[in-house]
Every structure is written in structure tokens, then in C-alpha cells.
Structure 1
């Protein structure tokens, strides 16, 4: 359809040139002929008019939108459904978008918090009226000429998609995948928590210049990360603000703020803690807040004693990304399917897990089945002299010499350090004659016994922490590299602990073999966790 159909449907308005375009329609400038009031005319996609069910849903939604009256919501002046057109007439805002200001001049942390508080105030009012936004992003946050932030495009995405994220067969997404909540992408039941997630993602980006997930891979991959991965921790932002942001973008809806107002209360309190209780007064951006939100930033208990956030509070932050992936345009020829039908759960790298499992089993079994040489055992308390015939006693652990003592009238007296180290069995020789020297005291009183157990617990704990961080994409190649020495240490701990408990001869070849098997276990598991 041509512009003439828009003009014919709105005789009381002078329709001007196109001023915007997106996946949900085209926007024209206009002027009310009698009132002289500038307006923005949203022309919805023809697919809305061509689908009777969608058309009826949107008419119902338009009535709700027209009743929304809030300082931080773009007001709807009129709705016209005529001659195959669905037209929303709204207030025209000429102050630009949050995205345009963020990408050019940048925004300070205080400005970003103030902008998001304004958006949350408008969103909460809409949620109270039964309207979800479902497409919150910096481009849908607009400034008036006086600097007031208003949220635009309420409800359009919800009507078109009935809450689910839709994609074309070519992989383009109807909506903005950078800010979509996981439950929205999967077509699950939606609550205000979906808008909380999107708004929290906007705040994350404004505070650090980047999104909470790795870049690349296209829109489907972007959605998939949000469904199956946890967001990266917010860098260079102190507590409590970082904790508030990370809670707002938790993957599970139940872990987020239950609504926009509770998010705003904690955000206001955190900002008051970092920037001072009068930060909103100094901000210069008009923000209309509910009393409980406004009061949270001036609580005496949250006033900082020593503020060390000068760089955070004063340095403008700019976008490091280009404009996020554009949305698909809704047209009559588009074949749209739910995103949940095309995104796939992460594949499990079975081969790497199999290698890790085989190496782990071999590492654990080897010290128990390979006992070293069959030597004569001499069992005694190492605090007593070793009564063996000869002139020189050498005690070693896997080739590492622990003692070299000369014989005396009472035998060979071991140094105190050696007695403290040895637990279980070690290799000993008197004038070249080898035997196993076995301590008859509990091995847990020795460095070999207790040390091997502590080394085992230490390496296991750090390896588990590394694997968890790799699965959550909180670390990268550095954790994979670090897993090699940790795995080697794990193998040595298993070998030494088994040797001590079974009183096997602790030999170097078995130690090295267990260490290599431990390193193979760790690096295979790390690579598998990272690829998953």
C-alpha cells in the first residue's frame, strides 16, 4: 500500500515524511491540523491487517495503550483501523534515542542508572495495566526535547507474536535478540520478569559498553546463548550495583526481580550508595519515581563513607558494539516460526568426555594394580634408629633423596625432617642393598599422607571451579591451560596417596604416568566443558 492510504485514513492530520522504520512497522512525522500538535504516526505491517485474529488482538491492545498515562511512557493519541491500515498516532519525540546518545557522546554511570529508573517507572505502570512491552532496548527509549526519557512501542511485539519470539526460515529474528529473555525466546508463559530481563540487559550494556554474552554467531546463536548460558559478570562495576544488574538478568525468571518496581528500588538504593543520596538531584535528567523507589536512594544506612568510584561515576561510557542485529521485517511473504523450533541445545562433546573418563579411570586404577618392585620390608617407628648392617643409609622417594646418613653404634638415626615427611613406605638402601622402609605410625601424621590428601582436595576443588566457569562462559582459554598443571597435580596426589595407604614402593615412572593421565583428564574435561 502507498502513503496515500495513510493520508486517506487520517484526514485530520497532515502526514509528513518517514522518520523511522523497524521490524514492527514504519513511522511518519505528522501534524494535527486543528491543534497544531506534532505527532508520530506508526504504520503497522500489512501482515497485521491481513490476519483477522492479529488485527483483533491489536485493536484490543491499542485500547489498553491509549489508557496508559505516565510521564515515562510515550502517549498514544489515536488509533485508526481503516482501509487496510492500522495506525497509531503518538507523541513525537525529537530528543533522539538512548542508543544514539550512547553510541556518540556516551553516558555516565549516573545517567545510565537514571535512564533505566525512568524506564522501569514506565514499565511498572504498564505492567499494572496488564501490558507487557517485550521489546525493551536502547532504541525504544526516547528523549523529549527537555530530556525526559519515555518508553515507546509498548505491546506491538506482544500482539504480533503472542509473546513468543519468531524467526524467519532464513534466520532473521522478529524482535531484538540482544535483549530477549530466555523464556520469551522459548515461547513460555511471560510475566513482567521478561521486561525486567531486557531492561537489565540494557543497563548492563550502558554500564560497560558491551552485552553480557560473547559476540558473533548471528541472531539465532545470540538467542541460543541467552537460553543455555549464564551471563558474564559485569566488569569494572562495584557492588552493590553489579549485584543488582546481575540479578535482573538471571537466566531463570524466579531468580530475577519479580517486577519492575522491586528492580527500581534496589537500583535506586545501589546508586545512592555509590553516587550519594542526592545523585538524582544532581543528575539533570527528570525522573518521576514512586515514593518507595525515591526513598530507597536516600536511606542513611546506604550512604557511603569512602567513595572510590570516581571513574565509574564521571567517565562517559560508549557503545563498543555496532548497532545490534536488525530485526526481520514483518511482511505478508514472511514465513515465521517460533524460535524454540529452530534453536538447539548445546551439543555434548562425547568424544572428549570419553577420553576424560578413560584417563581418569586409568589414573585411579594404576597405583593400585602396579605396586613397583617386590623388596624386603623393614617396618618400624622412624623415631628409632634403623638397625641394619652397613655404613651408609640412603632414603629416597621416587628418586628424590630424603636422607643420607652414616651408621653408628645404635644403627642409622634419621633426621627429624625425614621422619616428618615419610608415611607409608619409601625406598631405602644400605651400602647398595635395597629394601622398603615402612613407617608403622599412622600415615596422616606425615607429609606424604596428609600432603597427598590435601593436594588431592585442592586440585579437585580448583578443577571443578574451572569446569563450572567454562560451562558458564565466565572464563576462556586461560582456564583450559591452567587445567594441565592442576590435572598433573591431581595424578601425583592419587599416586602418592595410594602408595602411602598400600605401602607400595613410590617409583618415578608410576608417578609420571599418573600425572600425565591426570593432565589428560583435566584438559579433555575442560575442552568438553568449553565446547558445551
Structure 2
């Protein structure tokens, strides 16, 4: 193995070289402490079965399934060198200031449709379509882009990965437990219930919303889209795709794709005409942060929350920068060892109410800690439900190959308004 690509709650992905053919591959290894759990082990192997069944260049290829001497199953997968869609978009925005254009959206919609069409033909619902699970296969790494200003180069392809949460409707009913990525999972996925392929249509619509607006779907989508000059028909299509009632969504992914391309052929695309409105400059304040992390935290992150090492409580003088994005939202950011850790969420909390905070930094792993320095999650998002007034302290450790940084925010907690 030549390096760590990324980690999650159940597995880690490594970059490796297949010496038999001299090409790079990706090794997805089930975490050691999950390997003897029969349910998790079966789910991991089930992903291999689904990948073997789906034969499409738009879904990551499975080469082999095996296990280590310690009985850790692993998948040998195609290594897609272009990174994921989220990292690619952020990198281009930061380095070149490029804006999303109509052609870029059509490219994403085309790639998503091709991947989901292959899955749905086998009655497989992905259930976790998100920017981090869409990889970019680059045919010409240093080649020209489409016309000198796009997000994608000529012949770039989107490749769908991570079928770990996929539902096989051909082998079972549509009954499902809650699953999926916050902001992209359809309403019927957020609780135990019944799903079908239209859950992926919802996720595809959420993905395009994120790609254009830079955030998950929200109440102001239409206003922001139209202010940026996107056609009303495009806003209508996204609203239909994000309908709470799945019967109101496009009937299948091909109908959805036809609606996207039709909508974007109408009117003038806004990004080529005028800028989207920019938020006012954030106010900033600074908070002290306990930033040192034991060296074993990276290993702990790879093993999941339960194996993570507690934060060192010593204060090394690093600070977390708190940006007040608006009256209700903050971003906490801190940089150390060449690594940035940052997260966003409510600027204030109410006793008994549940709030969600989301990591916006890029890393190999994220670990959330509560006020007692106890690791509580290694997902991209975490929820907080304060039980008393005062201050709620939340910490996010972002782990990258370069180091570890910990962002800390102290969030005021108020009593409910009617007390």
C-alpha cells in the first residue's frame, strides 16, 4: 500500500499498486473491530456482490474480494485518480475562482444519470449519492478543458463509488432503516420506511443544488437560483426532484435527466451573465482552542470513534477563528500542522432542541468530541441536543496525511422562548 485515501466509520481506503499488472488500485479494508461482526461483515461483502453485478464504466470497478490473515475482508477496486467531486469543485473555486456554468451542470447530470441508470437496471438503489461518492476519472490529466473555463476537462467521466448503503430491491422489499448522507438523503430514507429508485432522484436533485449553490437544499433555493440568472425551469425541476412526496418527483432518472437538459436549454444561464449575490463580509471573533492531539488520534480515526484517542487537554496557544456567517450560523476554523479543521452550524442553541453541525474541512477523517473530550462521531455531521442552559462546547478533529487540527466552538444555550 502506498498511502491512505480516506476513512469512514466502517472501513478505510488505501492506494496500492497491483504488482501483477503494474497499475494502481484502491484497497477498501473493513476496520478490524468490525470484521467479526456478522451483520457488518455481510454488508461489506454484499457491496462486492452488487459491484460484480453492475457492469458499467460509470460505477467503480471491482477487481477482487479477499481477506487478510486477521480475517479482515477487503475489496480491490479501480483507483480513480481525479479525486471526488466535492474536493474537485472546492479546489477549482479556491485556485481559479471559476464559477459553475450550464455546461458543468449538464456534465454532472449526465454522469449521475449514467451511473444510476446502470444501478436501477439491476433494481439497486444507491441511497448515498453525494459529492464525496462521485469520483472523477480523468482521461487527459493535463489536457484542455471544454472551452477554457469549465470545471471539467475533455473526456472527464464521473464514477459512482461506495455501494455500502445500497438497497437491492431485486432481492428484498423496499423496507429500509434510516440511512444516507445529511442534506442528500430523501425524506423517506431519514426514518425506517419504504424506498424505491426515486430516492436516488431526490439525491441527484440535491447534488445539483449543492453543485450550483455550494450548499445542501434549503428554503431559499429558488430565490438564489433566479438571482444568479439560472432559468426558472431549472429551479422548477430541482423543486420537483426534491419533493417530499416521491410520487411528485420525476418518474425515473432518465426522465429527470431529460428535464434537466431541457430546462438548461431555456433562457440565459446566469453564471455567464451576472454574479450570484455574495453574502456580506463575516464578522469575526476569536476563541481559545485546545489544539494538541495525541499522535494516536489518526490511527483511532481509522478504526472508528470507539478506537479514537482522547484529546490532549494541554493548550498550545492555537486559536479557533469563529466567523458569524449570519445571525444564526457560525463557522469555526483552525489551522495546525498544515491541516485546516472547520465546521458550520447554529450560532446558538435552545435547551431540548436538536441542532446539526457539519464538517466543511477536507480530511482523511473527522472526529467530533463533546465538552468532556469524549469522541462522539466520525461522520461528516453530528447532532447536539443540550439539556441545560449555559455553554455547549463542540470540537472537531480533522485528520489529514499532513497532521491534525482541532476546531473548537463554545455555543451559548438558552432556555425555550416560552419559559
- TM-score interval w.r.t. the shorter chain? 0.5 to 0.7
- 1:68 is aligned to 2:54: yes
Shift of 1:24: 4.2
Q: How far is the alpha carbon of 1:177 from its aligned partner?
A: 0.8
Cα distance in 2 for partners of 1:264, 1:231 equals 19
How does 1:88-237 map onto structure 2 within 5 Å?
Answer: 88-106=75-93, 107-146=100-139, 147-156=156-165, 163-165=176-178, 175-213=180-218, 235-236=225-226, 237=230
Distance 1:112 1:63, change over 3 A: same
After TM superposition, the structure 1 = structure 2 runs for residues 394-405 of structure 1, keeping only pairs within 5 Å, are none
2:44 corresponds to which residue? 58
- SS of residue matched to 1:149: strand
- Give the whole-Å Cα distance in 1 for the aligned partners of 2:207 and 2:245: 18
Deviation, 1:314, is 6.9
Tell me, which stretches of 5 or more residues in structure 2 are unaligned?
94-99, 140-155, 169-174, 280-330, 332-341, 345-357, 360-364, 368-373, 378-382, 386-417
8 Å Cα contact 2:183-2:217 kept in structure 1: no
Following superposition, the deviation at residue 122 of structure 1 comes to 0.5
Give runs of aligned pairs for residues 17-32 of structure 1, distance below 5 A.
17-32=3-18
Mapped contact 1:244–1:270 kept (Cα < 8 A): yes
Superposed counterparts of 1:377-392, under 5 Å: none
Deviation digits for residues 14-67 of structure 1 (CA, Å, limit 9, x no counterpart)? x22212123342110011111112101112334642321332343234112123
Secondary structure of 1:262's aligned partner: helix
Aligned equivalents of 1:232, 1:181: Cα separation in 2: 19
- 1:465-508, CA deviations, whole angstroms, 9 ceiling, x for partnerless residues? xxxxxxxxxxxxxxxxxxxxxxxxxxxxxxxxxxxxxxxxxxxx
1:319 and 1:104 map into 2 onto residues whose CA distance is 19
By percentage of residues, which structure has more helix?
1
How far does the alpha carbon of each residue in 1:276-335 deviate from its partner, in whole angstroms, 9 at most, with x for none? xxxxxxxxxxxxxxxxxxxxxxxxxxxxxxx433x3347798999977825988xxx999
Q: Which of 19, 22, 29 is equivalent to 1:33?
A: 19
Distance in 1 separating the partners of 2:263 and 2:222? 20
Q: Which has the higher Rg, Structure 1 or Structure 2? A: 1
Contact map agreement 1:64 1:129 (CA 8 A) in 2:
no
Q: How big is the alpha-carbon RMSD for the aligned residues of Structure 1 and Structure 2? A: 3.7
**Which among 243, 246, 252 is matched to residue 250 of structure 1?**
243
| Number of positions where the alignment pairs a residue of Structure 1 with one of Structure 2 | 265
On the 8 A contact 2:177/2:192 being kept in 1, the answer is yes
Residues 255 and 141 of structure 1: CA distance in aligned 2, closer, same or farther (over 3 Å): same
For residue 197 of structure 1, report the CA deviation from its aligned partner. 1.0
Matched, 1:86 2:73: yes
Give the equivalent residue in structure 2 for 1:312.
271
Q: Which 5+ residue runs of structure 1 have no aligned equivalent?
A: 1-14, 167-174, 215-229, 275-306, 337-341, 345-530
CA contact (8 A) 1:210 1:319 kept: no
Q: 1:235: how far off? A: 2.5
Q: TM-score, with normalisation over the residues of structure 1?
A: 0.44
Contact conserved, 1:127 with 1:192, CA < 8 A, in 2? yes
Task: State the secondary structure of the residue aligned to 2:73.
Answer: strand
Task: Extract structure 1 runs of 4+ deviating beyond 4 A.
Answer: 230-234, 313-324, 326-329, 333-336
**1:43-54 alignment runs, 5 A limit:** 43-46=29-32, 48-54=34-40
